[in-house]
Amino acid sequence: MGEGRRVVLSTDPDSASMQDRPLYNSHIIRTFAEYLSQHHPEIDIAPILRDAGMTSYELEDEGHWFSQRQVDRFYESLAKKTDDPDIPRKAGRYAASSQASGAIRQYVMGFMSPASAYRMLERIASNMSRAFVLETNQVAGQKMEITVRPKPGVNMKPYQCENTIGMLESMAKLFTNKFAKVEHPVCLHRGGGVCRYKISWEENLSFHLRRIRNYAAAGSVPAVCALYFVLPPISLLAFIFSCGLLILGVSLFFEQTEKREFVRNIQSQGNAANELLNQINIRYNNALLIKEIGEAMSKVTNIDELLRSVVDAMKKRLDFDRGGIWMADEKKTALTYKVGYGYDREVDILLQHTRFVLDNPGSRGMAVLAFKEQKPFLVNDVREVEKDLSDKSVAFVHQIGARSFICVPISYEGESFGVLFVDNVKSKRPLSQSDMAMLMGIAPQVAISIQNALSYQRIQESREREQILRKLFEKYVPAPVIKKYADGGEVDLFKGEELPISVMFLDIRDFTARSESMDPRDVVDFLNEYFEKCAEIISEKNGHINKYTGDGFLAVFGAPEPSEGHPCAAFEAACKIYDISGRYLLGGRPLEIGVGLAVGNAILGNIGSQSKIEYTAIGATVNTAARLEGVTKRFPRCPIIMGKETWLALSGHPLCGGLRHLGKQRVRGKTEAIELFGYSPGCRIESGSISAKAV
């Protein structure tokens, strides 16, 4: 007893790490738990499991493994509770009837004899333990020798030897209904390098009956021959008849016994096959679930549709009565129910009106903890956790009728989006670690898809905002300039470039005097309406208004997108603007304008400071256009005036007939007089100069 309870501590780091590696399948501990419930029902196993760092759902999971440290702590606590030093061996013997052995027990019973089953231990031992290597050797017909060799770093305990003896004894009972005899001559804990077990067993009844039948048949022939010369014929016939009846009776009994044993083995093999088929179906459904969820994730970008697809796949492929998804709100202050299956109408309404508060430090619900701590919870009996929940959470659990449930976080890269919840109400099937592992495999994929959907929505919203901003800034900056910086990757905002352009400078004549009697709001409306029409005309000619000067504006053609016909485009736009200007009344009279046109090189780029910049054109060409607009005041019949360079660029234009040479004129800002040409719409003037006085 004392030796079994001793915990051996090792200073070897490799040995210490091996103590926490998963080495022992849950079948082993589950057998202990079943034995305890049958023979010590007064002992509560829950605190024993807690002391060992185990949970009840881990015992139910055939795919779960425990470490050496966990099983040692389990046995120490169990030994204290039962005060029975033989409990490891008794629990091992109980394996013959335990449901915990499951498919392993059915697999063993599928063999026709104990010898075959013991021989196969070498192959199936790894399904029970990863702590050792097992070797078998058949010494005689009913004798086997089994050697257990621990793997490096594994520190097995004496109680495990006792448990192994009990399990080896129980294997023969599956066939003969009697425990095998097991000797343990060599043991790790008595100085041996391995543990060696010698096993012997009695053959089953059918084997003995077969032997009796064969001996009886073989012995009856010489007996009849010997008695032939001794007994009278009638007595001899009676003897022969009696021997025949004996042999026939033994044979019939043997056949029936062998048939029953054969049927039992066939049934065991059938049960094992059914168990295997169930496992295959579970894995197949899990694979289909992953496939269907993956397909939904690759196609669906709407979060609500995505969650519905996930829940539909869960309903179709997973063996849970109910399931649902709760998502955090935008500020992550609460979890709200989004979509689910299996809930009746009343529960569904309750869920839709229930919020799990996240920003309350006192919240202790499983959903809140799963969300905040990003770890799953599995509860097979809500009564076990009621003391850890708030009164509100307990009331909610009872309202929805939950008995056992799994709650896993939907999280990705440290960010939680919600929780996934499943439970069983009707089936009452115990939930397992494998169930939780499956959901934990699904949840991150859902989180990734949610993240992708949110990113897609943000991209769409960003594109929409970009389009709005583009349209907004196009009112301040030409669209090609915006495209250059937004799409072209240009980062130097103050980089200018020299380009050949045409410049139009327009001014409304006597605007201040003629608008004095107007309401200021009417003045603004008038200018906005007029400038809107001018902007349309200029845009049609691939130009843009660069800046407004109160009652006028500066327009540029040929930049920022170069174009060869920009002089003609600027001239045509000026003529069209002049035509429509007369339709606008200002101060009771038709609107009058003056336009200066200039062609030449200019520097275009952003001018200003880091806090405020403006895209504009600067240079002699721009200044000339502004000065020529002023000259139009001296030539009222020529509202559009240009220099010689512009006139030459318009050579051959259909409207050139309206252009007249104005001679050399003094222009403010120029040291020498320059040749000017004026356009007089609708007026054919004979060739020659038009002087300022004549006009």
Give phi and psi for 230, each to the nearest 5.
-110, -50
Q: Do both 133 and 260 map to the same domain? A: no
Q: Do both 93 and 215 map to the same domain? A: no
Report yes or no on 30 lying in a domain.
yes
Return the ∠ at Cα 623 (arms to 619 and 626), rounded to 5°.
150
Tokens representing residue 467 in the block: 């389009």
Return the ∠ at Cα 672 (arms to 670 and 678), rounded to 5°.
75
Q: Do both 504 and 626 map to the same domain? A: yes
Tokens representing residue 38 in the block: 């049958």
Q: Do both 231 and 371 map to the same domain? A: no
From 14, 64, 39, select the one nearest 434 (Cα to Cα).
64
CATH number, residue 7: 3.90.1520.10
Mean pLDDT of 199-225: 65
Report yes or no on 303 lying in a domain.
no
Mean pLDDT of 82-105: 74
Report yes or no on 161 lying in a domain.
yes
The yes-or-no verdict on residue 299 having pLDDT over 50 is yes
The yes-or-no verdict on residue 595 having pLDDT over 90 is yes
CB atoms within 10 A of CB 505: 25
Q: Do both 598 and 554 map to the same domain? A: yes
Q: Do both 139 and 237 map to the same domain? A: no
Q: Do both 76 and 119 map to the same domain? A: yes
- Fill in the amino acid letter for 469: L
Report yes or no on 482 lying in a domain.
no
Mean pLDDT of 363-367: 82
The yes-or-no verdict on residue 98 having pLDDT over 60 is no
Provide the residue range defining the domain that includes 167: 2-203
Of 180, 203, 226, the last residue of a domain is 203
pTM over 0.75, yes/no: no
Pairing of strands 593-608, 640-643: parallel
The yes-or-no verdict on residue 409 having pLDDT over 90 is yes
Q: Do both 198 and 210 map to the same domain? A: no
Q: Do both 39 and 133 map to the same domain? A: yes
The yes-or-no verdict on residue 531 having pLDDT over 50 is yes
The yes-or-no verdict on residue 103 having pLDDT over 50 is no
Element (H, E) at 590: strand 589-590
Tell me how far apart the terminal alpha carbons of the chain are, to the nearest angstrom: 130
Report yes or no on 481 lying in a domain.
no
Report yes or no on 475 lying in a domain.
no
> Across the chain, what does the average pLDDT equal?
80
Pairing of strands 497-508, 593-608: antiparallel
Tell me the β-bridge partners of 421. Answer: 324, 407
The yes-or-no verdict on residue 267 having pLDDT over 80 is no
Helical segments of 13-146, H only: 13-19, 26-39, 45-52, 56-60, 68-82, 87-94, 102-109, 114-119, 121-124
Q: Do both 531 and 451 map to the same domain? A: no
What are the tens digits of pLDDT across the range 235-251? 767 767 676 776 666 66
Say how far apart CA 495 and CA 500 lie, in whole Å: 17
Of 144, 177, 203, the last residue of a domain is 203
Report yes or no on 687 lying in a domain.
no
Report yes or no on 338 lying in a domain.
yes
Q: Do both 185 and 220 map to the same domain? A: no
DSSP 334-399: EEEEEEEES--HHHHHHHHT-EEESS-TT---HHHHHHHHT--EEES-GGGTGGGS-HHHHHHHHH
Greater model confidence, 342 or 61: 342
Of 457, 477, 501, the last residue of a domain is 457
- What's the pLDDT at 300? 60
- Fill in the amino acid letter for 514: R
Return the ∠ at Cα 121 (arms to 115 and 126), rounded to 5°.
175
Banded pLDDT at 655 (limits 50, 70, 90): confident
Structurally, the chain folds into a number of domains equal to: 4
Say how far apart CA 241 and CA 263 lie, in whole Å: 32
Considering the chain, what percentage of its residues have pLDDT values greater than 90? 32
What are the tens digits of pLDDT across the range 117-158? 888 888 888 888 999 999 999 888 789 999 999 999 898 999
- Classified as helix, coil or strand, 6 is coil
Q: Do both 523 and 536 map to the same domain? A: yes
CATH number, residue 663: 3.30.70.1230
